Structures are given as structure tokens and as C-alpha cells.
Amino acid sequence: MCSKLCLTRRKSTNSVNERTSAVTILHSGSSTKRGVPPTPKESSTRTKPLKQAGRQPIPEYQTSYQSRGAPGGPAMSSSSMLPAAATAASKRLILVHGTGHGGWCWYKVATLLRAAGHRVDAPDMAASGADARPLRDAPTFEDYSRPLLDALRALPPGEKAVLVGHSFGGMSVALAAEEFPDKVAAAVFLTAFMPDCAHPRTHTIEALPAGLDWMDSVTDEGHAPPSVFLGPQFLRRMLYQLCPEEDYTLSQSLARVSSYYVADQRRRPPFSADRYGAVSKVYVVAKQDLAMVEQYQRQMIASVPVAEVREMAGADHMAMLSAPEVLAGHLADIANTYA
């Protein structure tokens, strides 16, 4: 979801009261008026919540996934009752949000995983979530991803973490795996950008299908860095269409202006095969994602060697909100498998 692509470019206006429901966004003093569109009622399939590890049994999550070995190797379809080993020792997971969001969007999944005995961090990237800095104070992609890089750097010697990147968070996870491959037990891409090692870093962003309707989203190419604000109609209809209404309302209180840092990332060499490329990867497909559609997700999977491909049949783009119990089951099982 890149400001370079099909998103209509409009300058955000100054001195406009942004509140439809008392919402303020940080954008170098700029603000954008936003309305709340009609919202069709849709529901997602829910399962029982995770139980505490080592104390209560964790329910079985009937899901399916594919396992892939070396590039060109055959894909093996299988079904798994997840998480079969979620009562294992505590694992560390770091959950990375996408554009315009913050660590807050993981509140359901983080709670479930902690209740199951895992150690979970959901940091705000720079100028995101509760991080008070304006976007201009995070001029590069490395600046933006610094909270994740610092979290990995601070891990005790010998400890590894499972990184989970959602949407644009996949790019931050890739950067972290490039910088600290020995500290990453597995990189999980949840309906996320997953770069390869053969093309420029921005290739996967720029390959996003051109027909995506960005609706009321706004970009400002003159901002430093070039900025994007995902509009309320776009969020409701394209990203949150299966989410509970209260989670969409929460997003409207916490959404922030952000950037895809395309120009900055183009200046960097491709991710390396012996660092990022050597980290075990798992892709989680959200089959009801209307923005990063399943076909696009599978195009990325076809170009990058992954250890597993897992599917969430009832999840939209915001899978952590539309199907949190199912996602928590997947992540617990992945953590117990790779960490």
C-alpha cells in the first residue's frame, strides 16, 4: 500500500478541525477532515480463547496450512489442530503493527498469548501509536523501525524472538532480520509485505495490484518523509470489514499519519540471502483481505522460500481484530515450533 501507486494525491489542509469523533493526528501541524461512512454488519468466525500455559488445556484450533521446503520443492497440504504444543516453555514474541496503527491493535492477541504464558511485546514504531514524535522526526525507514531494532538489540545473549509483522510491519520485520538474524527465531508475515532478496526492497510494495481503491486516503508527497493517511472509509470497507464495530471506532481515535518510506528504501541494497534470507519465515494468509488480496499474498509467497504457509479463512486485513483467537493459536504454535 504505497503512496507511489494508485492512491489519489491530495495535500492535507491546515487549520481544519479533524474531529468527526474528537480525533487528532500528528502531521507537522496539518490535519484532515474525516467522516465515518455507513458500515455494513459482518461477523467473523470465533473460537474459544487460549488458556494459560502449563495450567489449563489450550483448545484446539482447526486450521490448515501448507509446508514448503527448499525453493522449487513440493508443497505439502496438511491440517493441524493448533496449538498442539502451546503449554511448552514461555516464548518471546514481538508483534509489529502496520501503517497508521500502533501496538494498540494487538491488544486482543497479546492478551491471549500472555494468558498462555508467553512473553509478548507490541512496540509502537516511531511516530506511531502512543509514540509522541511527529512523522518529521522519523525521516528514514530505519528511524521508523528503531523501536523494533532496539528491542532485538536489548535481548539477553543467546535469546531469540519470534517477530510477527502485519501489513507494512513485514518490512520492519525484514529489516530486523537483516540486522539481527541471530536474534530472530522466526519471521512471521501476517498478510504483510514480504520482500525477497533478488529485487530492490520496495519491489513488493510497488507490486501491489493497481486496481486497489484507496477511497478517502490522502498522501502528501511534499512532506518529509512523504506521508500517507488511511481514510476512515478505506479502513472501514477495505481493512476492517469483518472487525467488531468497537475496534473500528478505536482505530478512529488512534489512527496516525505515516509513511511507506519508498524513496528511502530504494536507496538501500536488496536484503541479503545470508542474513534476512537465512531466517525461517512463516506466512499467514488472510483470505478475506480486500486490500492485500489473497492472490497478491500468494505471489509474494511464491517468490520467497518459506517454512510454512498458514491460512485464516475468516480473517480480513486486520486479522488480529477480526479473528484474534485463531491468530493467537497460530502464533502460539509457531512460537513453540521455532523458538
Peptide bond into 38 cis (omega under 30): no
50 with 116: CB under 8 angstroms?
yes
Angle between helices 141-153 and 169-179 in degrees, nearest 10:
60
Annotated catalytic residues are 167, 289, 317
pLDDT at position 188 is 99
First to last CA, the chain: 31
Sorted by where each starts, the structural domains of the chain and their CATH numbers stand as 61-98+106-338 (3.40.50.1820)
Q: What percent of the chain has pLDDT over 70?
A: 74
> Average pLDDT for residues 74-88, to the nearest whole number?
36
pLDDT tens-digit profile of 295-320? 999 999 999 999 999 999 999 999 99
DSSP 280-335: -EEEEEETT-SSS-HHHHHHHHHHS--SEEEEETT--S-HHHHSHHHHHHHHHHHH
Cα 53 to Cα 142: distance, rounded to the nearest angstrom: 35
Beta bridge partners of 282: 188, 308
Confidence of residue 87 (pLDDT cuts 50, 70, 90): very low
The pTM of the full predicted model, rounded to 2 decimals, is 0.79
Beta bridge partners of 187: 163, 281
Give the whole-number percent of the chain exceeding pLDDT 90. 73
pLDDT of residue 23: 31
Q: Note the pLDDT tens digit of each residue in 4-54.
A: 344 444 443 333 233 333 233 333 333 333 333 333 333 333 333 343 443
What burial class does residue 261 get, using C-beta atoms within 10 Å of its C-beta: 0-12 exposed, 13-18 middle, 19+ buried?
A: buried
Residue 7: C-alpha distances to residues 18, 160, 195, 215, 318 (Å) = 21, 38, 21, 8, 20
Closest alpha carbon to 280 in 182, 202, 198: 182
Name the region of 100 (left: φ>0; alpha: ψ -120 to 50; beta: rest): left
Per-residue pLDDT averaged across 205-215, rounded? 95
CB atoms within 10 A of CB 48: 11
